[in-house]
């Protein structure tokens, strides 16, 4: 057994009955929690209290923990404390919307591209003058087009917003080249680190990389509890009015004036998410303890194994970077010929107990282009809304790996896909929305709900020793 399997909840012995042989290959969407995270939460819960203005010891401890979590984020991403602030938010999506507000107030122009997750696309599309670059003919980034856009819009009022790794293909964005172009034209670089943070080292300030703004989600790096972070220059955070206003953001409010706080507090309206911040810091410390180089090496092994086996299978089309390319995360997008991809995902779940994702992964423009590049048949699904009719592609199946997955699990996925491809799904499915369900779908889910009488539960540290 891989030693890292014990580091996350819900695997092997830690899994409730019924989920014991479950294989989670949906880590690009959400990872299971680290045990180190829930342990830290258990330690902190007795100290849970109001933070910032409370004078009692619990409030003081809670405040120290919350502010300390900002330091952990800065350290993990190599962001100097005197230059950057960390705003705790719910997730990457909120971080990017918050920065879009700041950018809008400061009259900035954003250059982004069709590769992006909707969370790193739609907030910018709301701003005037946003430039959305087309993909290069091979589906990658078009650096010449970026350079032209930067030449047209040079200076610090321009922000280049890119993801560090595609949530669809796992391809790493050529960040260093983009950083160098961005610097050369005096613009700023924003990096959506939602995908990369749990898998590769990313330092905002290093000899080859200068990142000015970064967004990240806790739930994609083994830290649930509804937290994410925006790391941004303190100067920029202080320049813009808060996006949300209310408690916590103002130093002084008179009948007709408001003096907003400076630093991250300015953008954290309402009572802060202490447990979320603590969870995020604990997860980052755990990743540092394991070493991101070791994580990368293990996930590369899994990815290579999957790409080699799936690439050799008739009827399975791999999408994204060429299988031999190493510059990708453990994300494997594919289309199984002859079947709707959502049906393949349903069969993997029901018949093989393997959880993957299928569809277009909140990256509709990019998936549409990838499928076109791969010569996929014309889109089959129609979506109607707001008086318009759009054609949605059938999408792809995506398997994505975490540090606790094993080669044996990859082999099982390959076997399962081979059988589905050869013989089709064994159970009967009906179309429900854009997905596929069996007739007993509801009962199947209900029989696994935690908390029902007699339901198996994961043991906790609070349970008596056996």
Ligand X SMILES: Cc1ncc(COP(=O)(O)O)c(C=O)c1O
In angstroms, how far is the first alpha carbon of the chain from the final one? Answer: 23
Q: Does 341 bind ligand X (CB under 6 A)?
A: no
Q: Which is nearer to ligand X, 24 or 92 (CB)?
A: 92
Q: Does 273 bind ligand X (CB under 6 A)?
A: no
Q: Does 438 bind ligand X (CB under 6 A)?
A: no
Catalytic member of 216, 237, 302, 362 = 362
H or E segment and range at residue 350 = helix 341-352
Decide: 28 and 262 in contact? Cβ < 8 Å: no
Q: Does 194 bind ligand X (CB under 6 A)?
A: yes
Residue entry with tokens 């596929």 = 436
Coil vs helix vs strand at 362: coil
How many beta carbons lie within 10 A of that of residue 257, not counting itself? Answer: 8
Q: Does 358 bind ligand X (CB under 6 A)?
A: no
Q: Which is nearer to ligand X, 51 or 175 (CB)?
A: 175
Q: Does 398 bind ligand X (CB under 6 A)?
A: no
Q: Does 169 bind ligand X (CB under 6 A)?
A: no
* Shortest distance, position 24 Cβ to ligand X, whole Å: 15
Q: Does 141 bind ligand X (CB under 6 A)?
A: no
| Given 26, 142, 192, 299, the residue binding ligand X (CB under 6 A) | 192
Q: Number of C-alpha atoms within 13 angstroms, CB side, residue 202?
A: 29
Q: Which is nearer to ligand X, 73 or 194 (CB)?
A: 194
* Shortest distance, position 152 Cβ to ligand X, whole Å: 26
Decide: 248 and 258 in contact? Cβ < 8 Å: no
Q: Does 163 bind ligand X (CB under 6 A)?
A: yes
What pairs with residue 400 in β-bridges?
26, 331
* Shortest distance, position 221 Cβ to ligand X, whole Å: 10
Binding mask 52-91 for ligand X (x = CB under 6 A): ---------------------------------------x
**Distance (Å) of CA 391 to CA 252, 377, 395:** 52, 12, 12
* Shortest distance, position 83 Cβ to ligand X, whole Å: 24
Coil vs helix vs strand at 292: helix
Name the burial class of residue 59, with classes exposed (0-12), middle (13-18) and buried (19+) by CB atoms within 10 angstroms of its CB. middle
Decide: 397 and 370 in contact? Cβ < 8 Å: no
* Shortest distance, position 50 Cβ to ligand X, whole Å: 27
How many beta carbons lie within 10 A of that of residue 194, not counting itself? Answer: 27
Q: Does 406 bind ligand X (CB under 6 A)?
A: no
Is residue 360 annotated as part of the catalytic site, yes or no?
no
Coil vs helix vs strand at 365: helix
Q: Does 394 bind ligand X (CB under 6 A)?
A: no
| Nearest alpha-carbon partner for 92 in 125, 133, 123 | 123
The size of the interface with ligand X (CB under 6 A), counted in residues, is 13
* Shortest distance, position 227 Cβ to ligand X, whole Å: 10
Q: Which is nearer to ligand X, 163 or 358 (CB)?
A: 163
215-234 binders of ligand X (CB under 6 A):
217
Q: Does 167 bind ligand X (CB under 6 A)?
A: yes
Binding mask 20-59 for ligand X (x = CB under 6 A): ---------x------------------------------
Q: Does 342 bind ligand X (CB under 6 A)?
A: no
Long-range own/partner contacts, residues 70-73 (CB < 8 A, 24 or more apart)? 70/264, 70/277, 72/280, 72/281, 72/284, 72/285, 73/216, 73/229, 73/231, 73/280, 73/281, 73/284
104-133 binders of ligand X (CB under 6 A):
117, 119-120
| Interface positions with ligand X (CB under 6 A) | 29, 91-93, 117, 119-120, 163, 167, 192, 194-195, 217
What is the set of active-site residues?
362
């Amino acid at each position: 057994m891989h030693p890292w399997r014990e580091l996350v909840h819900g695997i092997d012995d830690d899994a409730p009955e019924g989920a014991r042989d479950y294989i989670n290959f949906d880590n690009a969407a959400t990872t299971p929690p680290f045990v180190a995270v829930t342990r830290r939460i258990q330690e902190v819960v007795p100290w849970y209290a109001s933070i910032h203005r409370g004078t009692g010891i619990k409030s003081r401890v809670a405040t120290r923990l919350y502010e300390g979590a900002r330091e952990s984020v800065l350290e993990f991403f190599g962001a100097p404390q005197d230059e950057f602030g960390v705003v705790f938010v719910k997730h990457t999506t909120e971080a990017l919307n918050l920065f879009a507000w700041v950018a809008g107030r400061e009259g900035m122009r954003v250059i982004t591209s069709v590769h992006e997750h909707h969370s790193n696309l739609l907030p910018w599309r709301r701003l005037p003058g946003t430039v959305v670059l087309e993909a290069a003919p091979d589906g990658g980034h078009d650096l010449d087009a970026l350079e032209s856009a930067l030449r047209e819009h040079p200076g610090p009022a321009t922000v280049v917003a890119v993801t560090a790794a595609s949530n669809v293909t796992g391809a790493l964005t050529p960040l260093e080249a983009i950083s160098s172009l961005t610097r050369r034209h005096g613009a700023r670089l924003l990096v959506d680190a939602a995908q990369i943070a749990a898998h590769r080292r990313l330092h905002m300030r290093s000899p080859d990389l200068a990142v000015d703004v970064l967004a990240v989600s806790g739930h994609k790096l083994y830290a649930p509890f509804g937290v994410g972070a925006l790391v941004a220059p303190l100067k920029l955070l202080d320049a813009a009015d808060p996006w949300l206003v209310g408690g916590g953001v103002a130093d002084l409010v008179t009948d007709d004036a408001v003096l907003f706080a400076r630093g991250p507090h300015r953008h954290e309206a309402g009572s802060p998410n202490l447990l979320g911040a603590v969870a995020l810091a604990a997860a980052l410390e755990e990743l540092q303890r394991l070493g991101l180089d070791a994580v990368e090496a293990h996930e590369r092994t899994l990815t290579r194994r999957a790409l080699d086996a799936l690439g050799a299978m008739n009827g399975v089309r791999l999408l994204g970077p060429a299988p031999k390319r190493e510059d990708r995360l453990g994300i494997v997008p594919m289309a199984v010929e002859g079947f709707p991809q959502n049906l393949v995902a349903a069969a993997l779940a029901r018949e093989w107990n393997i959880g993957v994702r299928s569809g277009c992964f909140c990256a509709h423009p990019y998936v549409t282009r990838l499928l076109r590049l791969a010569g996929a048949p014309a889109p089959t699904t129609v979506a109607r809304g707001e008086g318009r009719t759009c054609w949605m592609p059938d999408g792809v199946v995506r398997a994505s790996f975490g540090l606790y997955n094993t080669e044996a699990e990859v082999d099982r996925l390959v076997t399962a896909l081979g059988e589905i491809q050869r013989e089709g799904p064994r159970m009967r499915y009906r179309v429900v929305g854009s997905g596929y369900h069996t007739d007993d779908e509801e009962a199947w889910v209900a029989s696994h709900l935690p908390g029902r009488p007699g339901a198996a539960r994961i043991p906790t540290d609070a349970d008596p020793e056996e």
